[in-house]
Chains A and B, each alone.
Chain A
């Protein structure tokens, strides 16, 4: 039940929060600052699930999802998108990009955990 999670967000505060929420839930959190960094981290670990922000420098969330989905060894990893946008518009965007689900910021840790369980057990 202890999931390994890769969380990608350019905001340090958001990373800190994700780290806190994930580790408090007994998950193992790996953190990355943007898409490029996320891909680097993926070379070393194989998370059960990925959480990513959309708007990031260097490589944004959509680019990151594309890159993850393009790689056969990662293509099945569930990806949750972190967003502040309202659901409908986002659903379409996230899905088109290849995301598995989404979490609306600011997230409630309980909902985060629930969402993770919905996509990765």
Chain B
């Protein structure tokens, strides 16, 4: 089994992420004007829990920061500080740093003090607290180790009390206890050794002590862990039985402890009852001290005493609902240090540790929580290693391929479509798809965590450019494949930064134009026809197309006389080399690394497009497949190769007639479709499989639609099938191929390549762009 502490540590960091999420949520609510104490409590608790766990793992930096943050939140919680917008922004910054510290601790990294220092300073100033270095240091993280040290579980050797006459049930045994000389520990040798080391403790519990659930017997046992003890009980205050108030204690004790330990450790035993009893601790002074100061009448009222010893439990005795705990206490006649129970204890503990410990390890330890209950609140979840899920995903992928092969064999065997085998296979197909879908769902998670990270990007980038920006999010609970979420972080960060830096105007300009002072960036996610659409929009100035076009001409990305539609100009931003960070600062458009953004989105099987309206803002729209593992595709043949075209890229298929086809230049054709012209691309030629054909009349074309509204006609030799295929990445085994998204394995065991239509069309139209008919692209 792996190290349980390492497991808890790993799970702590997962919990931290959840806590950070609710922290962000809570702060957002506060920012929106929510003053519900429970909201503030959630925020406080999140920080508090992170601090608590961090302390246990000795993550000092994290503890220190969380402590200061917690202190500030406590001020808010207590109503001593009422945060305004600025304060909440600072809290957000603290939450961000807290997240950094958590991740740094997880990855054994560090966060620069230069980052945390100023924020903490502001925090203390804002909330009106002085730095409480002292208290911070007071919170000494104790690293949890499972070494229980000596003498804790293995109780110290105790004198053999079995020789004593008293039996547990014998009340007659009681009086003898008052004679310390009866304790075997007090042999001549023992006395010689211990005469001057130790303390006398006078202890008289008040009623409150019993009410608090404390129990003198256990205190004496704890004393016994420090050294040899002898106990004298004074029961002279005992009333008659008929006057006995079961809730009142009447006993007091004198205990002599022979120990090398300090008075402090003796005092610690009484820590929980401090103030609930009369407690006097004096150092032993010579052998005389050994003689107990006790001489009170003990022996009378034996019967009463039997009841009284149980006085702390008296109420339960009278009650039929007496809990087992009390029963135990009663059978071991309570506070009086009667030999039998005392003698039994160490024996018990030895037996237990020897016999039961292994058992407990089996049942307890890290086998999840005992059957006492799953919480009734949020839905139950199981944490599963991602690797296991991925194995399952792969296996199901194999199943789909296998099923396809089986179908093909059945068809080849010439079985009629409505034979029992074929029908059975049809059901098998349905089941396989259901399983596949369910498996994919396991990998999906809400996109919320990603959106929250973007909140931080907005806060930081807006602060750095001195703009007032507010992020609106929608569709945070949209579930997306985990890998997609992870790989979206970088491109999305880039886009959000761009929106803040370049999309939104400066505050002055906004005011000048009659816009709100605060710029808005909106981030949304939604499922739309089998894909996930994520949009980043701003209410800025929109793309300055004149500038963009000028720039592209200067960079020789387009000819000076190029006639481009608005959407084509917008798409120039995605061209590699369109602009660099250094140049963008004085350009009111965008473009910092948008080509990089585009290729990361494409690598996920996604598309990105822009729409922009002058003076109103710009929207980037990313469309992603629901899963990275399967795809609905059309199987086509071209130049003796089999290829799969993603179904969602195909608008329609048609057979070319002579009238549809128009020669454009010496090397290019366009296809006339319902009044519009669409460039014709020969798939075989584009992929380098063959030379362009002499004639395409009578040929089949797939009309491809793209996110940006552009279309293209792909000529293929034949359409073979339409089916779901399992995506096999090529990048791991071979590398990226232009125009190709991935590969799949068909029913006959052959590999077929899956087309990336946008990439293919992009590459092709890049060479023929100026020759394209403009009006066809607008539609």
Contacts and interface: CB of A to CB of B under 8 A. Distances in A.
B8 A26 contact: no
B512 interface: no
B153 A119 contact: no
B352 interface: yes
Contacts of A21: 144, 146
Contacts of B373: 32, 37, 40-41, 44
B323 A33 contact: no
B464 interface: no
B370 A101 contact: no
A108 interface: yes
Interface in A88-107: 91, 95, 98-102, 105-107
Contact of A84 (B55, B213, B217): B55
- Most chain A Cβ neighbours within 10 Å, of B145, B221, B269, B369: B369
A2 B352 contact: yes
Contacts of B372: 30-32, 41, 44-45
A26 B357 CA distance: 5
Contact of A57 (B12, B42, B221): B42
Given A26-B360, A44-B372, A117 B352 contact: no
Interface in B367-420: 369-370, 372-373, 375-377
Contacts of B376: 36-37, 40
B214 A101 contact: yes
A87 B319 CA distance: 35
A79 B323 contact: no
Interface stretch (B28-36, B135-143, B293-301): B135-143
A84 B225 CA distance: 26
Contact of B369 (A19, A57, A86, A100): A19
B56 A13 contact: yes
Interface in B211-233: 211-215, 217-219, 221-222, 225
Given A1-B348, A1-B352, A29 B213 contact: no
Contacts of B272: 100-102, 115, 118-119
A13 B53 contact: yes
B218 A106 contact: no
Interface string A42-73: 00111010000001111000000000000011
Contacts of B214: 78, 100-101, 119
A56 B147 CA distance: 29
A19 B370 CA distance: 10
B598 interface: no
B382 to A, nearest CB: 13
- Most chain B Cβ neighbours within 10 Å, of A16, A56, A91: A16
B316 interface: yes
A84 B269 contact: no
Contact of B222 (A28, A37, A117): A117
B361 interface: yes
Interface stretch (B44-52, B113-121, B757-765): B44-52
A45 to B, nearest CB: 6
A105 to B, nearest CB: 5
Given A41-B373, A106-B52, A13 B212 contact: no
A31 B313 CA distance: 27
Nearest to B141: A106
Contact of B146 (A15, A24, A29, A100): A24
A119 B377 CA distance: 31
B344 to A, nearest CB: 10
Contacts of A30: 369-370, 372
Contacts of A41: 372-373
Nearest to B13: A13
Given A73-B321, A84-B52, A108-B145, 19 more contacts: A1-B345, A12-B11, A14-B56, A17-B144, A19-B369, A23-B360, A30-B369, A77-B213, A78-B215, A86-B135, A99-B212, A101-B271, A102-B272, A108-B144, A109-B144, A113-B153, A117-B218, A120-B218, A120-B325
A-B complex: 8 closest residue pairs judged by Cβ atoms: A23-B364, A101-B272, A100-B213, A106-B55, A106-B56, A13-B53, A1-B352, A13-B12
7 contacts: A31-B372, A32-B375, A37-B375, A37-B376, A37-B377, A74-B323, A117-B218
